[in-house]
Amino acid sequence: MSIQQNLKHIKETLPENVTLVAVSKTKPVSDLQEAYDAGQRIFGENKIQEMAEKHELLPKDIEWHMIGHVQRNKVKYMASFVNLIHGVENEKLLNEINKQAKKHDRIIDCLLQIKIADEESKFGMHEAEAIEILKSDAFSELAHVNIVGIMGMATFTENESQIKSEFTQLKTTFNTLKVLHTNPAQFKTISMGMSGDYQLAIGCGSTMVRIGSSIFGVRNY
């Protein structure tokens, strides 16, 4: 099926309150353009340089989401245009995003990445750290970042009940953090679910799914 058909098919299955991030990492600009022409406006990338290059080449009404692991020294290359950073995994990174956003007179939306998977390779903070950040005076002084929710990745496994329990855990963490937020109405995003597990994630309360291979086909690294 074509990118356009894949997109249409996926969109038909998504509830209205769930946002689709088309994960276009490793894919050529022509593929993104095809998705754009089919109406898609939100794209997710996991490498800052690749995202910056694609941003240069593509229409400027695209919303760019950084979904990958972020190195602090590279935040400056996306601070002028990125719309949402999904993988904020510690306070130092949040401080750097704030600093770079300030230079561009912007407020950058961020999600705190919470570790839910049973795998060493997955990044993220524990709920306790997220609570500490939201409660801290230092955070309340960061005028150029806006924490709008959380993100998590389930363990890579066939075991559906494990994935479900991890997603449920993320939803519980979301509820806990929301009441601590100075502006709970702004804290509204749960980014969870990818090609293989997004239906399950939506069932557990996801409001944003990050789908790559089911739209663009398998990736060749």
Residues that bind ligand PLP (CB under 6 A): 23, 25, 46, 67-68, 153, 194-196, 210-214
Q: How far apart are CA 11 and CA 50, in angstroms?
A: 26
CB of 138 to ligand PLP, least distance (A): 27
Other Cβ atoms less than 10 A from the Cβ of 82: the count is 26
Give the residue nearest to ligand PLP (CB).
Answer: 212
The residue (of 23 and 142) whose beta carbon lies closer to ligand PLP is 23
From the centroid of its chain, how far is CA 220? 22
- Of the pair 67, 134, the CB lying nearest ligand PLP is at 67
* Strand segments (E) across the chain: 19-23, 42-45, 63-66, 84-88, 108-113, 145-151, 189-191, 208-211
Shortest distance in whole angstroms from residue 117 CB to ligand PLP: 11
CB of 175 to ligand PLP, least distance (A): 22
According to DSSP, the residues that pair with 82 across neighbouring strands are none
* 3-state percent helix, strand, coil for the chain, nearest multiple of 5: 45, 20, 40
Please state the closest distance from residue 207 (CB atom) to ligand PLP, in A: 15
The residue among 76, 72, 27 whose CA lies nearest residue 54 is 27
- Position 43, amino acid: F
Cα(57)–Cα(73) distance, integer angstroms: 23
Residue 136 backbone dihedrals phi, psi, to 5 degrees: -75, 150
Q: Which is nearer to ligand PLP, 196 or 205 (CB)?
A: 196
For ligand PLP, the closer of residues 55 and 210 by Cβ is 210
CB of 135 to ligand PLP, least distance (A): 27
Q: Which is nearer to ligand PLP, 168 or 213 (CB)?
A: 213
25 or 55: CB nearest ligand PLP: 25
The least distance separating ligand PLP from the CB of residue 78, rounded to whole angstroms, comes to 16
Residues 146-155 as b/e (b if ≥16 CB within 10 A, e otherwise) read: ebbbbbbbbe
